[in-house]
Amino acid sequence: MKTLIKRKFTNDALAQAMVEAKPEDIKKAEGLLKDKIVEAGVDKDNEITKLAQDLLDKLQEQPGGQQIITQNISNVKYAATSGTGNASISGITEHGTSKDD
């Protein structure tokens, strides 16, 4: 997935470096990362969305995969998180528009 995202940022060395950054470094630049994701349209990219969904489906097939992590995030459209471990995201519904639209 990192390779695909980096390909979307072909002409942006800073964004590519942020994709490879350690979680603690990403936290420091979270606002910049969000801006770059939105500017590049990566948050709406069908190829990345499909790959992410395929990964989530495979995780859910694992024993206990659905229960590993449950997290509710408000304003998911622009949420960015970092860390290690397994995650499952499902049932995301957006109501209305965000303040940034």
Which pLDDT tens digit goes with each residue over 62-100? 777 665 544 434 444 444 554 555 555 566 555 555 555
Domain count, the chain: 1
Residue 43 lies in a domain: yes
More confident residue, 42 or 66: 42
CA distance 99 to 74: 12
Residue 63 lies in a domain: yes
**H and E: helices and strands count for the chain:** 5, 0
pTM flag (> 0.75): no
User: What is the DSSP track for 66-100?
Assistant: GGS-----TTGGG-----SS----------S--TT
User: Residue 77's pLDDT is what?
Assistant: 47
Residue 99 lies in a domain: no
In total, the chain counts a number of residues equal to 101
Residue 55 lies in a domain: yes
Residue 70 lies in a domain: yes
Residue 15 lies in a domain: yes
Residue pair 26/18 in contact by the 8 Å Cβ criterion: yes
Which pLDDT tens digit goes with each residue over 13-32? 877 887 788 777 777 777 77
User: What is the domain range of residue 68?
Assistant: 2-78
Residue 97 lies in a domain: no
* DSSP designation for 100: T
Residue 94 lies in a domain: no
